Each structure stands twice: as structure tokens, then as C-alpha cells.
Amino acid sequence: MAANQYIDTRGASERPVTFTEAVVDGLAAGGGLYVPERIPELSLEEIAALAQLPYAQRAARIYRAFGVDLPDETVDALMEQAYGDNFDDERICPITSLTANTHVLELWHGPTSAFKDMALQCLPRFFSASAAQLREQGELDHDFLILVATSGDTGKAALEGFRDVDGVSIGVMYPDGGVSDIQHKQMATQRGGNVQVWGVRGNFDDCQTGAKNVFGDEAFAEKLQTEHRIALSSANSINWGRLMPQIVYYVSAYAQLVADGKLGLGDELDVCVPTGNFGNILAAYYAKRMGVPLGMLYCASNENRVLTDFINTGTYDITDRDFVLTPSPSMDILVSSNLERQLFELTGRNAGAIAGWMADLREKRAFRVDEDTFAQVRAAFASDSIDNATCLDTIKRVFDEHDYLLDPHTAVAYRTAENLRGENPVLIASTAHWAKFGDNVYRALHGLEPGAPLPADVAALTGCALNELIAQETGKHDIPSGLAQLDDLPIRFADVIDNGTDDIETAALRFLERLDAATSGQND
């Protein structure tokens, strides 16, 4: 199949690029995001046939359908590495059916116990292979610094995926005080010689804006290239290589439900996704475009309900919107980067409209889409926001009714699905193992208010010890080893920086200088 090309949502790139270029670049020129020129279509028979393959081969087949410019044998080998015994279930993302029409897609069986592993066990391998191929073609002569802003889960998954990858270093920024104890320790104890972690004063949007500003600083890019022979790239879901593996699991899930006799081939399946940066639900949209019979896409928001308000009104407005800390911190986001890709598709790929709206968002902190685009949004999506108390109540109720323990993000999606669903069966994207958020799971199970202090003896426990207590109380002893053993690991990273562009760039340069010194010492 001819290689697919990738175009820019804002129309600023001089030419379309290949898959390998899009993955290595991360962000398009002018700040836009890459999307494929051609979205492949699969027949119902081709979708159903995927269920006969192991997950890695399902993923390879979908990548080949997209026409990636890597040899088929390379794609096959990379997928076998990405989706193997690094996951604790050979099915990779098994489906648990709570009722005949309510199915939970468990996306957290990877090494960091969050759905980000589904993409970030894949992207680093494809990034490295893409860079190697471009070097062989004489189109690349430098290494890379991956700069990541995280609301909690992406950071650890990216660190784990990129650790000790040749030709790549990675720096992760998280909001200081804005992640759970478990999430913090997962990042602060990260192994690897090419990794760095910073707490950032502010919230996730401050981290993400700071990262975007660094990416847009041409003088800094020149300094990195001149002094370190390094270019910036991204592992956030602005990188198409992060988004594409997520498409796979929606195609795969539909095929699996049909194979298991829980869905008739061709029957519609609605999907509900806890949504922050819009990448996970956008992947479901692309799966639908490929021919998977998905119905409504339910966008589940927490009290940071900017996406719910946008889907219900057509206006994206963060001018006077407070940033709320919730039990589901990975969704505590006000600027949803991947909405740009979604609007590009819903406008019939109108780059001029996207550039204008993104400029309005940057300058006025608000934009409004036209009536035709809003009608397209309403046809594809419905949305609801779940307050903090309802989120915790849902965890308790689902445990009582189904003996199944949800994390707070999945609880937001579960309740949203209850509120919005029609007659179609619903697939709920479960994005994290409950033990990543033990404090709020404990509050839920014991009827405590959101944010209420834990009992003194419980508050004195580490995140790992608290999870063990919950396991004893509930009988849910499935705590992944990567979470259970965190207390035994040394803290490597404790730096906290300000969120200004200069602050981030200074920290990044210090990190690279340390790496240079370490390399120089090894060579001596």
C-alpha cells in the first residue's frame, strides 16, 4: 500500500509529511497538529477477523491499513515488543461486562497501570524506528529531547516507554501538588539514565502552556541544535504516534465483543470516555470513520466541564473559568489540545477555520464555532459533567452492585453513560487501575466527602499502604506490582520549578548539560 501522508490542521506546513516525519516532529509548523490525508476504511468482515489475531497483530494490521512508511516486518516486530509480557494480561486490554449491555474496556494492564501505556509502550519504539530510518535516508542528523506535560499518567508512561532509548532524552513536567501520591512516586522514582522529572508550580494547563511556549521558541530550538545537536519533540497526544495506537483498541474491542457473542456484527455500540485532552475520545471517532459501527460518543467530564459546555453550546470559553481540583486529576484540564483535530475533521478539514479559532483561544481565551460545525459536533457527541460527590458515590454503588472497583476517572465515565445512554450497548473506557487513586477510592467506599480529611491513622499511611488496606477491606488483591512496590524505591527527582517559558528552558538545559557531562565522563 502506498505510504499515507500527513497534513497540518492549521495549513501552515509547506508540504505533507510521512508518518515517520510526523512522529519525529510531534508538532507541525505553526503549532498545528498532523492528521493523515487518508483515513482507511475496513469492511465489517475485516473488523470481525481481527478477533482471531493476538492483540499485537491486530495493531500491526491497522497500522498497515494506514500506510505507515516503515517495512511491514518492522511494524510487526515493534508491535510484538509493545504488546507482550510487559502487560499483565495476554489479552492486553480485556473487556469486563458488568451487564449484558454495559462493557468496561480495561486499558490499564500495562506497566504503569494507566491507559497511557496502550500508546506509550508503542510510540517510543516507533519513534526510534522512524528516527533511524530518517537517519539512513540522510534526513536527520541529531538526537531528541522529548518534553512532556502531564496531569499524572502520561508522564510515568512516557518515562517508562522512553527510558534508555538510544538518541532520546525525556523531561516530564507535572503540576506540583496536583497529582496523587502514587502518581508522584511513580515519576519521582523513575529509573533510566536519560530521564528527568520536574514538579511545576501551577496546574496542568500551566505545564501544558509552558511546554507549548517552549516548542514555539525558535531561538531556543536553535540553541539546542547548535550546542547539543538536539531537537524537541513530544510524547503528548498532540503527537499522531500517540493517538494512533488508541484507535487500535476501539477497533479491537468491537471485534472482540462480536467474537464473544455480546454484539451482533453491524450492531451499533456507543462509547463513553472520561475526557481531558480529547485524545482518547478522538481515537474512537477515527475508529468510527474507519467503519467500526460506533454510535454516539459520550464525552465524560468532571467539574472542569469546559468540554461539556462546548459540546452543548458550541462555545469554548475559559475566560472566567476556575480550575477545579477533583478526585479525577488526569481530567483536570481546561485546554483540550486534541479538540483541534476533531474540529478539523468536522469542518471538512477547513484549516483556515481552525487557525482562526485557535488564535482566538490563544488571544481571547474563547472561540465559537459556526452553526454547521456545531451541528456536526452535536450529531457525533453528547456530553455530561459529573460533580465530585457523584463521582465518589458511583465508585461505592458500582462496587456494591457489581463487586467491581472503579477508579475515579472511570467512575465519571460510568455515571455519564448512565445519564446519556439510549438503547445501544455502551463500551466504557476504563483508564486507570483503582490503586492509582487509593485516597479517593477510600473516601468513596467509606462515604467521606470529596476532599475530606482521611482518618488520622489512614492519612498517616503511604499510598502503597493505603492500597493494601483497601485490598483487605474489599477483597480486591489485584494491585499491580509496579504500584505495590513504590515505597521500596528511592526518590530520584524532587526539583520544583516555575512555569514560565524561561524557567522550563533553563531546567531543560541543565538536564542536557548533566547528560553531556555523564557521557563525557564515560568516554574519558
Reduced 3-state DSSP string for 204-235: HHHHHHHHHHHHCCHHHHHHHHHHHCEEEECC
Return d(Cα 466, Cα 460) in angstroms, integer. Answer: 9
Using CB atoms within 10 Å of the CB of residue 360, give its burial: 0 to 12 exposed, 13 to 18 middle, 19+ buried.
middle
Whether 223 sits among the annotated catalytic residues: the reply is no
Catalytic residue chosen out of the listed positions 116, 185, 212, 396: 116
Count of CB atoms situated within 10 Å of the CB of 182? 25
Residue 95's H or E segment, with its range, is strand 95-99
Return d(Cα 158, Cα 66) in angstroms, integer. Answer: 24
Whether 428 and 458 have beta carbons less than 8 Å apart is answered as no
Return d(Cα 363, Cα 354) in angstroms, integer. Answer: 14
Whether 385 and 378 have beta carbons less than 8 Å apart is answered as no
Whether 205 and 335 have beta carbons less than 8 Å apart is answered as yes
Distances (CA, A) of 187 to 176, 178, 253: 12, 13, 30
Cβ neighbors of 283 (< 8 A, separation 6 or more) are: 243, 246, 247, 249, 250
Whether 160 and 191 have beta carbons less than 8 Å apart is answered as no
Q: DSSP class of residue 114?
A: B
Bridge partners, residue 385, by sequence? 301
- The residue type of 270 is D
**Strand 269-274 to strand 294-301: parallel, antiparallel, or no bridges (unpaired)?**
parallel
Residue 195's H or E segment, with its range, is strand 195-200
Return d(Cα 336, Cα 359) in angstroms, integer. Answer: 14
Residues designated as active site? 116
